[in-house]
Amino acid sequence: MNVLKTYDGDSISVKDIADITAIRQQDVISTLQRVQMIQYQKGQHVICAASELLDRHIKEAGNFRYLVDSQKLIWTKYHHTQE
């Protein structure tokens, strides 16, 4: 919702949102459908994100953020194995 609220361009696509947020396109679509922000117009799906609707969803979501203690992250190199 924050991406839609602050986007400066003329239009934004699901792919754009996915690229900006690192969220899968299908998850972006699913979320937009759940909050009724995708409509079918003139033969295509469009994102309809009125400012008031975005404000309401942002307010309802609150400021919750996951906090990650980087000291507890353990990174290992990915090894692809063939079976």
Domain assignment of residue 79, yes or no? no
Predicted confidence at residue 62, as pLDDT, reads 76
Global pTM value: 0.64
> Does 27 fall in a domain?
yes
Q: Which residues are paired to 41 by β-bridges?
A: 44
In this prediction, residue 51 carries a pLDDT of: 84
Structural domain contains residue 49: yes
State pLDDT tens for residues 28-83: 989 998 888 888 888 877 888 888 888 888 888 777 677 888 888 888 888 878 76
Per-residue burial over 32-55, b if 16 or more Cβ lie within 10 Å, else e, is: beeeebbeeeeeeeebebeeeebe
- For residue 78, being part of any structural domain is answered with no
Q: What number is the average pLDDT over the span 5-32?
A: 88
CA distances in angstroms from 5 to 9, 11, 17, 34, 49, listed in the order given:
11, 12, 12, 18, 8
- Number of domains, the chain: 1
Residue 63 vs residue 6, higher pLDDT: 6
**Residue 63's domain is classified under what CATH number?**
1.10.10.10
